[in-house]
Structure 1
Amino acid sequence: MKLKELIITCGIIGIILMMIVPIPTLLIDFLLIVNITIALTILLVAMNTKSALDFAIFPAILLVTTIFRLALSISTTRSILSKAEGGEVIETFGQWVGGGDVIIGFVVFLILVVVQFIVITKGSERVAEVAARFTLDAMPGKQMSIDADLNSGIINEFEAKERRSTIERESNFFGAMDGASKFIKGDAIATIVMMIINLVGGFIIGMVNWDLSFAESLNKFTILTIGDGLVAQIPALLISTASGLIVTRSASDGNLSEDITAQLFKYPKLLYVAAGTIAMLGFTPIGIMRTWPFAIGIAIGAYLIQTSQSKKAAQDELLVEEQQIEEVRSPESVISLLQVDPIEFEFGYGLIPLADTQQGGDLLDRIIMIRRQCALELGLVVPVIRIRDNIQLKPNEYVIKIKGNTVARGELLLNHYLAMSPGFEDDSIHGIETTEPAFGLPAIWIDEMTKERAELSGYTVVDPPSVVATHLTEIVKRHAHELLGRQETKALVENVKTNYPALVDELIPSIMSLGDVQKVLTKLLQEKVSIRDLVTIFETLADYGQYSKDTDVLTEYVRQSLSRQITLQYSTAGQSLRVITVGAQLEKKLIDAVQQNDQGSYVSLDPVSSQQIYQRLTEQVNRLLQSGQQPIVLTSPTIRMYLRQVVARTLQDIPILSYSELEPNVEVQSVGVVNL
């Protein structure tokens, strides 16, 4: 055993023996001084620790010092009752506190006991109990936060392990402090009991065994009781204070002295107010001579603190500028320029009121609603949309970018409304002709005075923020498949895994890779099929992924599994579904043109046939659009994906469905046939 371990072990055994074996008063004096020294050291360490875990041994030290103090109290009580003396330390404390007056000393001692028992001990016990409870309640949230940081790559395995260890140590520490605080309370009660025993028992023994008079016995044993209580209570008070400091300090990066100077004197201007208040008290009977020197001292201190803070702020600002210059000069500074935002919304300076909440702009709130709407309709978590002004744009112009590339633009007139005619023009409605940006419909900008008349004439009238929100929503839906990458797919998979772990474990990675799942989801979004029902999608992929690795074929199986969803998306209850069907000649032409390669199957058509298909299909689509109907193309399951491949570039917004994607109870009415 090492020397330090041997000394500590022998010391603890000696503490136990002190309760049984009488010890001389000279040794008692030495141990009392040691007790005061230990308590003072503990208080100083508690004041200078930055975190409770820096003094994690404190609960054990609290137990040992409490037992040591009780053992000393038993030894001093034995000495007082048997020899009518407690040593020089107890005698000195007993006479010094009262200043030679027994009654004053006794009153001071009682006040000290009340402060120790009711204020400090009770408060420390309550704070320790609450801290332990809140620490244990916060453990699951902290563990989940660590797991989230680990999954997102913010921290590595080693850092995650360190954080988990810290959380475990915190819970153990505050739990131990909750129990150890009961020792302080018990120690205070034991001190009061021993004080009564020393006073009453000593008074009786003094008159019976030592033949002292009533006054002599009362005086002598009162002084000894006060001295004994003080030498026990002062270390207990120091340790109780240390316990309170340990459990009450939180959200701190420095020790107690640093926090006090940094936080209490953070606002030197308030010290001027305090100095002025103290100076005003000089005009009361207190007098100027007693208040003004102190007020002047506070004002001088406030001035020095303010000057010091100004110098430090200037130095910090200079240091930040130097660091920024160094960062620009460093080769790594270019890395940040490579970051591309998924979605950006840029606008000219004339449209700043749209995004400025102080000017009544609600664009940020509308974007939040857009993200919620896309999550409900498409099952996609839209990335954060970066909003910024761009002086290179026209004042009333805005652009929408996807991954750094402009995909849409438009112009707004803030003090006007966009009015779209119901199909017939009203000559009394005049405005600035324009095009509705989301759907490309003809429209006009009208002022406030014309708004009511336009609404009465059947015009659809919307304000500029609604125009932007609608345009942005349509762009997000149109390019949703570009916003779904592998990282976003992984987040969706992890969300499903929380409730369906067996399904995800079977599918990924044994049957399909994360990239293949992402390709299937992307193909669904590309045709505006919601991926919110991921459980059904994953179930289908797990069933058919064992037989085919072609993501186009797997997408067709998924679409068929989502037939109810697709049917509800395009049909209206109580009405027949009006569709454009594909003729037998065209179906045969497409089947004959299917080619196979290592990547899967594709359609290889000659340019003449492709042009004929585009022309025939466009004729039918335009005919339905002119009659105000939504064009839907219906074909057999075998050629649906091939027809989609042929017309994807020119008619990407036209839904192409197969018979297997419609519910049997839906009535289908053919309003046109596409044939060669």
Structure 2
Amino acid sequence: MSGRRLSQFAVPLGVVLIIVMMVVPLPTFLIDLFIALNIVGALVVVLTSMYVKRPLDFSTFPSLLLVMTLFRLALNISATRLVLMDGFAGNVIDAFGHFVVGGQLVIGLVIFTILIVIQFLVITKGAERVAEVGARFTLDAMPGKQMAIDADLNAGLMDEVEARRRRAEVAAEADFYGAMDGASKFVKGDAIAAIVITLINLIGGFVVGMVQKGMSPVEAIQKYSLLSVGDGLVSQIPALLLSVATGLIVTRSATEGDMGSSVIKQLGQHRVALRIAGGAALVLCLIPGLPKLPFLLIGGAALFVAQRMPSSPAGEAAEADANAPAPADPTESLLGEMRVDPLELALSPDLVDLVDGAGGDLLDRVRSLRRKVALDLGIVMPPVRTRDDLDLPLSTYAIRISGVDVAQGQAPPGTVLAIGENLDFLPGRAGVEPVFGLAGKWVPAELRHQADLSGATVVDRASVIITHLAEVVRANASRLLGREDVRALTEVVKQTHPVVVEELTPALLSLGQVQRVLQGLLDEDVPVRDLVRIFESLSLTAKSATDHDSLLEAARAALGPAISARYATDGALTVVTLDPRLEQSLLESLRPTEAGLQLLVDTGRAEIMVAELTQLCETAEQRGLSPVVVCSPQLRLALRRLLQMAVPRLPVLSYSEIAQSALRVETVGVVNGAYSIAA
């Protein structure tokens, strides 16, 4: 049988053997063997608890404690059976009853009582209290530790694998201390059981000796009481060792080494303490009547050790460092402080409760938002560094891109945002929904039900912030798409479509040119999830033209059906078209510039066309429609640039993009641009 399979069956077989020991009489040889195993096993557990670096490194200790306690109780039962039946329970118990205590019953009882007092009142009681407090504090600290892990994950300081490992470690730590809280009760119960078993053995042996063996009271007490005390001492020594191991485990704190190394290192940090202790031992020699030699030896040894210790321990080094001039910051530290986070969410100090782990789920929502952005836009949203900012006014949050504030909002603590009309009867202060600019009121959270009954839409603070953050990310998606992000996306495509990537970059286009195309698509709220189709269209176009406008329009043409479907409702696309004469006039005004194709029309013509287009769109929106502007492919990009300042949210599509879709087109208006034609 292999070592692995043997280890799998060792503990279950041992537990079965313990149960058998309680029922089946054992020969004295096995009793001696198991007593030796019990003592050595307890000693191994104590030494292991001293050498582990962390309590979790000995996570099986609670279960092992239960098994060894059960094993010791089974030995007690077997030994008691042999003592009462044969008057002999093996050489080990006999030696403890006669040799260790000199065959003196009173001495044996005194030693046994002292061991019980040490175990029960000192070690067990203290270990039980420390385990109880450790379990409570560990459970109370779990939310804070989980929040710290989530914050590091959102800040990009660790990956998902490391975050899962640290969460599992936090959960294991809580489980361990909870188990130790219960295991300490085993130790306490074992100490009580030792007293009861010894008393039962004393009374039972006295009765058996007089009634069944015909002994005199003195003979019965002398024979059976010594064996009972020997049995108690044999079982109490490993019980005391396990109690010490329990205390060592639950009192261990965070150290970098085993207990022995840590104790020697920490006690040796200050040689002044050893000098004072050695001097005090020598002074005690001056007291009349005290023996001089022990204190001279101990005091001299302490002074010798203090003299041999390093001359610059941690305490003196710290004092020297305090007086020395502060060294210059290392380059790595300065570079870390100079780093600008791509995306940052700053909270005023009174908004930290949103991420404190005690009911604050803002970090979880940020993580969900990253997934949603990836699925909607096709880019990986940068990790959001969430931190408090003392410079922000109270109840304020700020969203920053590359260290620059791009949006701010309000989220007063203890309130919810009620959006609607007729909210004057509710207390609170006026507020505005940050994305759509809807008027509302921040009302106390306990009045949420009343706000619901009034017909208002009630939104909690975290939802307001996340909605605002999502809108900022969408509006600035092109700024958040860096060169490294494009490289990572390209590598993903290369895993499944290597030919597409190899044909495109670097043979035809650089990563920078591909990045500009993707940024142009994101600027017009076009997802870039279908990178395979985008790369294929860029490969075909780049063979004849590599200017940005041509590449962008080629990518849009490849995504035509997907772009049209985004603005369709129930299979219908609501469009606003241009009068053919106006469109021809605009085509004639196209001029190439360094920034791409532009419409060079005078201000008056542009204002009339934009005003008419805006009026048509507002009329359609009042009917519950969401129109788009449609024009020829040659004109689309230049018209989009012209309308971007006046109506930035208005999509501009080309006829070729719509033609590829199977949508039903419904025209709600035609822009005539009468002034432009007349001119």
Superposition TM-score tier, normalisation by shorter sequence:
0.5 to 0.7
Q: 1:483 to 1:312 in 2, by over 3 A?
A: closer
Give the aligned partner of residue 96 of structure 2: 93
Aligned amino acid, residue 476 of structure 2 = G
TM-score (normalised: structure 2): 0.52
The alpha carbon displacement at 1:23 in A equals: 0.7
Q: 1:339, CA displacement in angstroms?
A: 4.9
Report the 3-state secondary structure (helix = DSSP H, G, I; strand = E; otherwise coil) of the residue aligned with 1:513. Answer: helix
Is the CA contact 1:489–1:514 (under 8 Å) kept in the aligned structure 2? no
Which of 384, 404, 419 aligns to 1:484? It is 404
Q: For residues 334 and 235 of structure 1, what CA distance do their matches in structure 2 show? A: 57
- Unaligned stretches of 5+ in structure 2? 322-326, 343-388, 417-433, 436-458, 481-565, 568-602, 612-637, 648-679
Q: How far is 1:499 from its partner?
A: 3.4
Residue 463 of structure 1 is matched in structure 2 by: none
**Which of 298-307 and 4-13 deviates more?**
4-13
Structure 1 CA distance, aligned partners of 2:265 and 2:410?
43
Preserved CA contact (<8 Å) 2:62 2:179: yes
Report the CA distance between 1:485 and its aligned residue.
4.4
Residue matched to 1:296: 300
Question: Which residue pairs with 2:271 in the alignment?
Answer: 268
Give yes or no for contact 2:341–2:403 (8 Å, CA) kept in 1.
Answer: no
Match for residue 121 of structure 1 among 124, 137, 147: 124
Which residue among 280, 284, 290 is the counterpart of 1:286?
290
Q: CA separation of 1:590/1:600 partners in 2, compared to 1, >3 Å: closer, same or farther? A: closer
Amino acid in structure 2 at the alignment position of 1:131: G
| Residue type of the alignment partner of 1:513 | R
The 1-side partners of 2:291 and 2:109 are apart by: 35
Residues 497-529 of structure 1, C-alpha deviation per residue, up to 9 Å, x if partnerless? 99345556666657961527999xxxxxxxxxx
CA distance in 1, matches of 2:466, 2:334: 40
Q: TM-score, normalised by structure 1?
A: 0.52
Q: Deviations over 1:568-587 (max 9, x none)?
A: xxxxxxxxxxxxxxxxxxx9
CA distance in 2, matches of 1:181, 1:204: 35
Give the alignment partner of residue 112 of structure 2, picking from 94, 109, 114: 109
In structure 2, relative to structure 1, the CA distance for the partners of 1:334 and 1:210 (3 Å cut) is closer
Q: 1:138 to 1:505 in 2, by over 3 A?
A: closer
Distance change in 2, residues 1:301/1:492 (3 Å): farther
Alpha-carbon deviation of 1:48? 0.4
Query: Hey, what does 2:556 align to over in structure 1?
Result: none
Distance 1:80 1:374, change over 3 A: closer
Partner of 2:55: 52
Tell me what 2:169 maps to.
166
Q: In the aligned structure 1, how far is the partner of 2:63 from the partner of 2:197?
A: 24
| AA at the equivalent of 1:484 | V
In structure 1, what is the equivalent of residue 310 of structure 2?
306
Cα deviation 1:598-642 (Å, max 9, x = unaligned): 445699xxxxxxxxxxxxxxxxxxxxxxxxxxxxxxxxxx99xxx
Map 1:627-666; keep pairs closer than 5 Å.
none
Please state if 1:226 is matched with 2:146.
Answer: no
Residue 499 of structure 1, aligned match among 457, 460, 480: 460
Output aligned runs, 1:405-444, within 5 Å: none
Letter of the 1:302 counterpart: A
1:223 and 1:599, CA in 2 relative to 1: closer, same or farther beyond 3 A? farther
1:513 aligns with 2:474: yes
Q: Offset of 1:484 from its aligned partner?
A: 2.8
Does structure 1 retain, via aligned residues, the 8 Å contact 2:130–2:250?
Answer: yes
Question: Which residue in the other structure is 2:25 paired with?
Answer: 22
Question: Residues 67-82 of structure 1 correspond to what in structure 2 (within 5 A)?
Answer: 67-82=70-85
Alignment counterpart, residue 14 of structure 2, candidates 11, 14, 37: 11
How far residue 152 of structure 1 moved from its aligned partner, in angstroms, is 1.1
- TM-aligned CA distance change 1:8 to 1:374, over 3 Å: closer
The corresponding residue for 1:195 is: 198
Q: SS of the counterpart of 2:274?
A: helix
In 1, the alpha carbon distance for the partners of 2:186 and 2:313 equals: 44
The 8 Å contact of residues 209 and 220 in structure 2, kept in 1 or not, is answered as: yes
**Residue 208 of structure 1: how far off its partner (Å):** 2.1
Change (3 A) 1:10 1:602: closer
C-alpha spacing 1:60/1:600, structure 2 compared with 1 (3 Å): farther
- Distance between the aligned counterparts of 2:124 and 2:105, measured in 1? 27
Alignment map for 1:212-251 (pairs within 5 Å): 212-251=215-254
**Per-residue CA distance 1:422-475 (angstroms, 9 max, x = gap):** xxxxxxxxxxxxxxxxxxxxxxxxxxxxxxxxxxxxxxxxxxxxxxxxxxxxxx
SS state of the match for residue 306, structure 1?
Answer: coil
Residues 490 and 514 of structure 1 are in contact (CA less than 8 Å); yes or no, is this contact kept in structure 2?
no
How do residues 298-447 of structure 1 correspond to structure 2 at under 5 angstroms? Answer: 298-307=302-311, 309=313, 339=339, 374-376=392-394, 379=396
User: Structure 1 residues 137 and 374, CA, compared in 2 at 3 Å: closer, same or farther?
Assistant: closer
For residues 240 and 489 of structure 1, do their structure 2 counterparts lie closer, same or farther at Cα, with a shift above 3 Å needed? Answer: farther
1:499 aligned partner, one-letter code: D
Displacement of 1:52: 0.9
Distance 1:594 1:297 in 2: 96
SS in 1 for 2:72: helix
1:332-391 CA-to-partner distances (Å, cap 9, x unmatched) read 89956965899xxxxxxxxxxxxxxxxxxxxxxxxxxxx7565249x46699xxxxxxxx
Q: What does residue 255 of structure 1 align with?
A: 258
Task: Tell me the distance in 1 between the aligned counterparts of 2:644 and 2:67.
Answer: 82
Report how many aligned residue pairs link the two structures. Answer: 403
Runs of 4 or more consecutive aligned structure 1 residues displaced over 3 Å after TM superposition: 306-314, 332-342, 371-374, 379-383, 488-493, 495-512, 516-519, 587-603
Q: Is the 8 A contact 1:128 1:174 kept in 2?
A: yes
| Closer/same/farther in 2, CA of residues 299 and 122 from structure 1, 3 Å limit | same
Give deviations 1:136-171, integer Å, cap 9, x for gaps.
111111111111111111221111101000011111
Q: Tell me: CA distance 1:35–1:266, structure 2 relative to 1, closer, same or farther (3 Å).
A: same
Deviations 1:108-142 (A, max 9, x none): 11111111112111221221111111111111111
The CA deviation at 1:235 is 0.6
Q: Distance in 1 between matches of 2:297 and 2:266?
A: 25
Rounded to whole Å, the distance in 1 between the matches of 2:108 and 2:74 is 24
Give, in angstroms, the shift of residue 212 of structure 1: 2.2
Q: Quick one: distance in 2 between partners of 1:600 and 1:516? A: 21
Q: Which SS does the other structure have where 2:145 is aligned?
A: helix
Residue identity over aligned pairs, in percent, reads: 41
Secondary structure in 2 aligned to 1:22?
Answer: coil
What residue identity is the alignment partner of 2:474? S
Q: Distance in 1 between matches of 2:393 and 2:40?
A: 66
Structure 1, unmatched stretches of 5+, are 318-322, 343-370, 384-480, 520-545, 548-586, 604-637, 640-676
Q: Per-residue displacement from partner, 1:530-581 (whole Å, max 9, x unpaired)?
A: xxxxxxxxxxxxxxxx99xxxxxxxxxxxxxxxxxxxxxxxxxxxxxxxxxx
